[in-house]
Structures are given as structure tokens and as C-alpha cells.
A and B are shown apart, each in its own frame.
Chain A
């Protein structure tokens, strides 16, 4: 069990046909998440992080690629044992309000998966619901309330409780923090960390808040325009990112301490990320990369081992050295 990764995905592509042409939202991603990991997927809008997360569990049909969850072929598993898959793998959406019925009370929302899966009698369901509320630190008084009357943080807790109802091994959460206020965001982050420890869950979180990913995630994947730019253990990668894009992304996050901010060298990238409709040839970051060389514009870099122990897709990076766009 410990040796079988929670997620092993290879060559995942998700292409959308639109009136304006083919959008390569995810364009060849390999991803391995060990069991028990707290994995972060980061990147800017349009990098494909949400589409990838959805494709991993079949919410979004993939154009090609192979996804194994706990060693089993995901598509096959879903086809032959849909309920069993739903017990093992759950998804938490960015907008908890949109993912719940507006007419169902919190109690009904939490009971629904238990009813569908025929888990015990009424008394057992009530006990399980009480347990779930306890796990996400909500008072029993929310049970009779409708989602609209809850705060954003409470709603997100309900969504997480519902995802936990059937005791999944794997929880994938798409931007579960972005709609929340700062002080509440910390509560939800700590909740995820506690759930992983208490329940031995594997958690994959899609996020754009890098500071939070650094705090709680054991591993991280940095995406750019549908591809993995860099991946590795979070702390070493954040301390010494090998890919110029990761360096720029980290540099863009201001420090909450103005004394650090006043002296910190900043790298401002030119322009916006290009459209995934028309990714540039060679390295996809080459159009904005301050250290790009001619080869970067023609040769598409593969992921290879870099100094921090993870891997990066940059022609200028290898296990001994990498390009730097700013002083550390």
C-alpha cells in the first residue's frame, strides 16, 4: 500500500475544440502522488491546473493519457464500480455554494451520500453526521440551515465534511481557499492538514496562493501553459527553484513584512501568459523568460533532475546548476 502511489498519471492531455481553435488546456502531464502526501498544484490562470485535477478523477474527459488511482486504472474502475470509486475518491469544488443544492439543509447534504451508498440505518447515519461535523469543527446547530445562510468558511467546511462522508482515501480540492477571507483561509488550511494526519488521507490541492502551499504541502507541481514546469518537495523547491518561471512566480509574491519588501530584488515578467490556444514553440515560457537562449525557442525541454532533488523542464537546468533570474 505504501509503495503504490495514490495517483500515477502519465501523458495526460485535455484538449478542447472551440470556435477559435484547439485549446491545449493540459498538454502532456505526468504526475505521481505518493499515498499520504499533501500535494499542491500551482500556477496561474490558464495553466491547466484545475482541468488536470478534474481529469485525474474523470470529471473532465481526457483526450489521452493514463491515470491510475491506488494502482487501479481510473477509467476502468469508474466504469465497473462507480460507487466504489466514489467511496475512495472525492472532490471539493472551488465554489461550495455552487456545488450544493440550495434547497437542502446541511443535514440533508451530509446525509445524501450515506443514503446513496446505503451506509447503515437512520441512527448510524445520524452518528456519522455528528462525527463529520466534529471532524470539520462545525456545531450541530448548522444541520437545519441552508447553504445560503452560512458564511463562506462554514460552507467550505460542509463541502469538506460531505466529501469525507464515505471515508475516502484521496481528496482532491480545487482552489478551496480562494473564495475565503484571510483569517478564515488559515482555518481551512489547518483543517486540511489535520485531516491528513488524523485520517491518513492523500490530499491534492489546486491553489494559487504559494505561501499557503509552502506551509502545508509536502510536494508541489508548478504548471505553466498546460505543462509541468517544475516539481519536487515543497520546501527545497521553494528555497531554490530551478525553473525561471518558478523563480518569477515566487518572486512575484510580496512579503507581508515591508522591511523585507523594501530591499528584496523583484523580477517583473513582461506581459501576460500566452494563450493555451496557441502555445509558443520550444519552451512555453521562452516568450517571457528573461534568460531564454535561442535553443529554448525551438527545443521543448523534458523534465529532468535538478539541484533541489525534484525535476524541472528547463534546458538551462540540470542536477548541478540552473539559470537564475534574480538573486536569492
Chain B
């Protein structure tokens, strides 16, 4: 875990989480949704949090901000810092203010983020007034310019449109504009392209990349889409059933994965540009039922490298020497069998 709060660029992180544990309770079951995760993201950097449904990627990233599933009791432990403050001990009111201004969040479903009863432009202007302290006239101008920046043609006209009058791709852009209206330091994109068509996905990914370059904000991309990670991410963190399997620089992890789950996940993603078509390989079995987990590695039942000890021994995230940059892997078996040196 050494050096986990510094970044390649050397800038201090704008959002950092240490040893986060999140337990979710419903009347009938309790689930450890996040089992000791640490991450950080610096200005100008994109961190991709990759995992399948139920891996805890959304809860881990948004949970410390108080954005949690409804109707569930939650126990959050560990540390989460942003803007020099501790998010886990902050009052609900302060957290809400920080969430609106410091963090911008874009969701998979833009309709749920935009108020259907209000025109698009005034929603943006209100955000800008509230968080940038602009006058109503200046906020209106800012809203139009945000729409234009988000790639919405004819922004003056769209300013006066209701959400239902926009197409899916345009709504996604409007939501990005809304998230930017408060001039956030961290943009969290939760499956931003999942519901979109391929050609529109490409547009949205390119827009996020461009915004990040221009504003130098930190981006956290929560996704299961390896293609999106490949386009946007500087660093990537792979989650499996609430545990961090592997973390490192995106190009290293995606081209030379070490953890058996990362390897299996990447092998199951076909690349039609690769000439060596090996067929789509699959990971056998299913993700575990998180309500009935034991102490050890949660991937053990699907892992081709599993040993008896994996079931009981909790895999520690270990820094390794591989590739140019820092990498952490939570699989002592692979490290030992392949002679990968600890770093």
C-alpha cells in the first residue's frame, strides 16, 4: 500500500479513499458490498473502476458521498477525503453541498438526473448560480456555453427545451453540461455510455476526454465496458465481488493482466481488430452470492489457479514489480507461481 496516496504526476489527490468497508443490511440479509478498498484520483487523471454487476463499483465510489441504495441500512468504515475534509464524519448538510459543487456525477440514465418538469437551460443556470455564485444573467450565459461545450447544436434553442424533447445522445450531453455547471473538481461517470448506441457512445467518450483535457479535472469512470476504459483511463482498478483484484496503469493492466480474474475478464472481451482471433474465452461459473461469503478470496470458485488456502486466506493487495509503473495485485498464488517480485 506504500505510495498509494501519491500520483505519477505528483499532484495531491482530489478524492482519496482508504481501507473502505461498506456493509449493506436489509431485513433479511447483510452483504459486505465493499471489502477494504483504497483508491485516489488526482487532477487531470482518469481512474476507471471496472467490475461486473454486483461488484460494488458504484457503491464504493459514490457511497462515501452519501449516494447509496435506498431502503438499505449502511455501515461505512475506513477513510474518505476530498477537498481536505473527511467525508465519513461530515454532516449530511455539508456532504450535500460538497456533492453538488465539488463532485459532478453523470449517470447511465440521463432522464433520472434531469427534472422532467423544467426546461434544460434553467436547470443548468440554477446550478451555475448556486455553485459558481453567478448572477442570473451570467448564469444564463454560462448555461448556453455549457450546452455548446457539451456538443449540443443550436444551444440557444435547446436552452428552452424540456428533457423529453431531446434524443438519448443529446440528453446525455445535457446531463454532462449539468454536472459541469458547478465547475466540479471530480467528475464521476457511472456507466455513462451503457444505454447508448455505438456511434453515440464514441461521441460521449470523446466529449468526456475533451472536457478533462480542457479543465484538468479528475474523472472516475465506473464501467463494465473494457472498450471505454481503453479509450479514457490512465489508471484502472478491477473489482470482483467487493474486493479489489488488481490496480495499475491502464495500458499495463489491460495488456498484461496479472490477477486471474482480470485475465479471465479480458479474455472474454473479443477484439475484432486483433488478427489472432482466438475465440471468446469464458470464465466458468457465476459471481458469488455475497450474502454467504467466507474469509478468503471471493473469486476462488471460478479461478483456475485456486489452491485450498485461497478459501480461507484473505488475498492482500500487494505492490508488484511489473511494467514501468506501480501495480497492485491481490493474488499471492499467481505472484508466487510466476515468480513476480514484490515491489
Contact = CB atoms under 8 A, between A and B. Distances in A.
Is the pairing of A and B real? yes
B273 A260 contact: yes
Contacts of B201: 252
A261 B268 contact: no
Contacts of B199: 44, 248-249, 252, 268-269, 273
A119 interface: no
Given A185-B268, A189-B280, A255 B273 contact: yes
A255 B168 contact: no
A190 B280 contact: yes
B277 interface: yes
Instruction: Name A's interface SS.
Output: helix
A272 B151 CA distance: 12
Given A187-B284, A248-B199, A251-B202, 19 more contacts: A44-B200, A152-B53, A181-B52, A182-B265, A183-B52, A186-B282, A208-B197, A214-B270, A215-B280, A254-B231, A255-B271, A255-B273, A256-B227, A256-B266, A257-B274, A258-B231, A266-B202, A268-B203, A273-B199
Contacts of A183: 52, 264-265, 268, 282-283
Interface of A: 44-45, 151-154, 181-187, 189-190, 208, 210-212, 214-216, 238, 248-261, 264, 266, 268-269, 271-273
Contact of B228 (A238, A249, A251, A254): A254
Interface residues of B, number: 47
B250 interface: yes
A261 B53 contact: no
A251 B273 CA distance: 10
B230 A212 contact: no
B197 A211 contact: no
5 contacts: A210-B198, A215-B277, A252-B201, A256-B254, A268-B203
B243 to A, nearest CB: 16
Interface in B250-292: 250-251, 254-255, 264-266, 268-274, 277, 279-284, 286-287
B74 interface: no
Nearest to B249: A258
A187 B282 contact: yes
Given A183-B52, A184-B286, A261 B230 contact: yes
Contacts of A151: 286-287
Indicate the member of B198, B265, B281, B286 with the most A CB atoms within 10 Å: B198
Nearest to B170: A272
A149 to B, nearest CB: 11
A249 B251 contact: no
Interface of B: 52-53, 153, 167-170, 197-203, 205-206, 224, 226-231, 233, 250-251, 254-255, 264-266, 268-274, 277, 279-284, 286-287
A259 B251 contact: yes
Contacts of A153: 286
A212 B286 contact: no
B254 A212 contact: no
Contact of A257 (B153, B202, B254): B254
A17 to B, nearest CB: 21
A268 B279 contact: no
Nearest to A214: B272
A238 B270 CA distance: 14
Nearest to A151: B286
A254 B227 contact: yes
B216 to A, nearest CB: 20
B8 to A, nearest CB: 15
Determine which residue in A189, A255, A264 has the highest number of CB atoms from chain B within 10 A of its CB, and name it: A255
Given A256-B230, A272-B167, A272-B169, A216 B269 contact: no
Nearest to A216: B280
A258 B250 contact: yes
